Amino acid sequence: MTTTRIVLLLALLASPAVSAQDVVRIPAIDGDIVIDGRLDEAAWSQAVPVELGYEISPGDNTPAPVRTTMRMATTPDALYLAFRALEPDPSKIRAHLTDRDGAFSDDFVGVMLDTFDDRRRAYEFFVNPLGVQMDLIREEATGNEDASWDGLWTSAGQVTSEGYDVEIRIPFSTLRFRDTDVVKRWGVIGFRSYPRNIRHQLANVAVPRGGNCLLCHAAKVEGMEDARQGRNLEVVPTLTLTDAQSRAGRGGDWQGDGLQIEPGVDIAWAPTPNLTLNATLNPDFSQVESDRAQLDLTSNFALYFPEKRPFFMEGADYFNTPFQVLYTRQVADPDYGARITGRTGSGAYGAFAARDSVTQLLVPGVLGSGFEILEQPADVFVGRYRHDLNPSASLGLVATARHGDGYRNDVVGVDGRWQQGNHTATAQALRSDSVYPLALDFDNAAPAGNALRGEYAYDSRNWFMSTWAEQIDPGFRADLGFIGQVGYDKGQVGGGRNWFFDKGSRLTRAQLYADFDITHRFDGQLLEREVEARLSFNGPLQSNFGLHGMSRVRFWDELLFDEAYLRAFANLTPRSGVQIGGSFRAGPQIDIAASRRGHGRFFDVYAELSFGRGLAFNVNLFQQSLRRDGGTAFEATVLDTRMAWQLDPRQRVRLTLQASHVDKDPALYVEPVNRRARDIGAQLIYSYKINPRTAAYVGGTLGGFMDDEQRDLFASTRGLFVKLSYGWQP
């Protein structure tokens, strides 16, 4: 070790860290810092040190069990962070090579940045000891952390004889903040996840238990008056090549459209730090990896799948409201799109417009919902504005519109939020007007209606409660959203208590929760009256386990049925790289296809296993069955298995296998049903990612099918694809 490195190491260890109560002045540094995970540059001695001295969970702001020092500095174009995370026994450090946003079970360090210092929204940047990046957007109003956002930043980490070190460089062009020439003030929370027998969470600030506002407790940092955002222009051309084929039966001819070549381009420009413009032409709105397999034979409502397409994921939190009036997967296959998001001194706004080549409808009802497709294009528009009256209260406006040939759906609404101390209240009112083509054969070709919702929540250290009520008219439609039930009013009241155990106890927390809700149809008919309760515990091996019970009266097919179940659940992390869990429930329930009550069982187990640094295996097995009238009416099994090999931080190979099997007894049904049906699918992908914008994917898919008409399983679909993208910043 050189003399310079020895002196620097002594300075890093000896320099006093500022307290959480101080306003930290972030210095501008001279000299270069290479992001390689080694804190050996002399410039780090100029950075301000901040001690992560509090254990905020499970400890109640007790002294941190291990020492962590975060250092902060800036240059005119970037924020630099360094972490020295000490560990008495480095062999216990949990670190694996994974894909981006996949290392939350590992040790990791990072920072939350409230760059507008308004306690509304924060960037989160986390890094594990091997340099794997995890970035999210935190929305304080809901507590949601959205991992779909991917920023462009640099990180590196290394395990040392004393623990591990991490270096981070975040370009100012990746962030949005107030564009002023004066000193800027941000909210900052430094964070370390320290998972051992229990998962310790460490921070530079004290966070009271039971609070409903994390960013309210962020430390304040100042400086960055010379911060430059650069041109803030990014052009991402994409090229997708696909060749998909299918056939109706074994031995049949494969049919397809041949090789499809789809070029496209995405453009992002931030003319000011408060404004971002996005445009896309012939966009590649395909998703690379398959959705999780889902199957539920006890529900008559459409299943929800999360959004995975980059254009819609970035800035998605700008459009959140109490009702989900925007579900971007309803924009199925657009030809082009444009989006604007930004901040004002007293709020935030967002809007996007697109031309969709098809029109996908979620058709809602009182007792069920499903999807319909109109084979015609539609013009789409969504607008959202939120005005902050003061730090505690805000008002919002939202509007969605989708118009096509003989088709129209418009939604407008207002919402509000108030938060003070332990109290939070939200409310929203919406109005919709629609016109549908007569070819859809809807009962009402021009429905209209209102949707109303109000909620109050209280959250303290030991006690919490909430109550809400909502009413949706039969004619309300939000075709760009995910509102699958209409024509009802519903109210719920619930609450519970937390018990926290002292250090040394095998348990860290126990929680008891219960609620009651009641739902009526628009004409007064009782649809559901339900009581449920849950008792859960957090204990050793990062475990969570408990019991959950439910009893309800449910209306179906003009009859009222009694349903109930008792569910046992548990999950734990017995060692590094191993997570296992599952649940089992049983009780009387409805067979909705036969309008008969039977005894249902639901079984779900999962395991996440890591071998070495880069090989991972995830499996999820789900099964549900229902016995009635002396036989098994149905039994359904779903298997979802994913194997991934992270060759290095950029290269990854992933194999996904999904299978489902449904058996039914036709003798127990009045209407004809298939005795059995089976689906199986496989997907193999190789990916090479330089960053979230510049990447290459090569893969193939194969699917199989069988039912009563096709009694032997046969390959029914197959395909190959290549996807290339390049992020260019002129």
Secondary structure E strands in 128-246: 133-139, 144-146, 154-160, 163-171, 184-195, 199-203, 219-223, 233-246
Written as one letter, the residue type at 386 is R
pLDDT, position 2: 41
Distance CA 166, CA 85 (A): 8
Query: CA of 132: how far to CAs of 40, 250, 302, 379, 503, in Å?
Result: 20, 45, 36, 40, 32
Give the helix/strand (H/E) hosting 623.
Answer: strand 615-628
352 touches 339 (CB < 8 A): yes
- Angle (CA) 174-175-179 rounded to 5° is 125
What are the backbone angles phi and psi of residue 249, rounded to the nearest 5°? -160, 170
Distance CA 332, CA 324 (A): 17
pLDDT, position 303: 57
Give the torsion through C-alpha atoms of 362, 363, 365, 370, to 10 deg: -70
* Overall CATH class of domain 3-223: mainly beta
Beta pairing, strands 219-223 & 24-25? parallel
Write 498-507 long-range contacts (CB < 8 A, 24+): 498/209, 498/210, 498/461, 498/462, 498/463, 498/464, 499/462, 500/58, 500/60, 500/209, 500/462, 503/59, 503/62, 506/539, 506/540, 507/537, 507/538, 507/539
pLDDT, position 82: 97
Give the helix/strand (H/E) hosting 311.
Answer: helix 310-313
Mean pLDDT by 10 residues, the chain (730 residues): 38 43 83 89 92 94 96 93 96 93 95 90 95 92 80 94 96 82 88 95 91 87 81 87 90 90 89 84 63 52 60 74 89 88 85 91 86 90 92 93 95 94 94 88 87 95 95 95 93 96 89 98 96 97 97 95 97 94 96 93 95 92 95 94 93 94 94 92 92 90 90 91 88
Written as one letter, the residue type at 580 is I
Give the torsion through C-alpha atoms of 369, 374, 380, 382, to 10 deg: 0
pLDDT, position 16: 46
Rounded to the nearest angstrom, the gap between the alpha carbon of residue 291 and the centroid of all alpha carbons in its chain is 13
pTM, 2 dp: 0.84
Across the chain, which distance is largest between two alpha carbons, in Å?
86
pLDDT, position 542: 95
Burial of 479 (0-12, 13-18, 19+ CB in 10 A): buried
pLDDT, position 76: 87
Query: CA of 372: how far to CAs of 359, 391, 594, in Å?
Result: 8, 43, 24
Query: CA of 361: how far to CAs of 335, 450, 481, 482, in Å?
Result: 18, 19, 9, 10
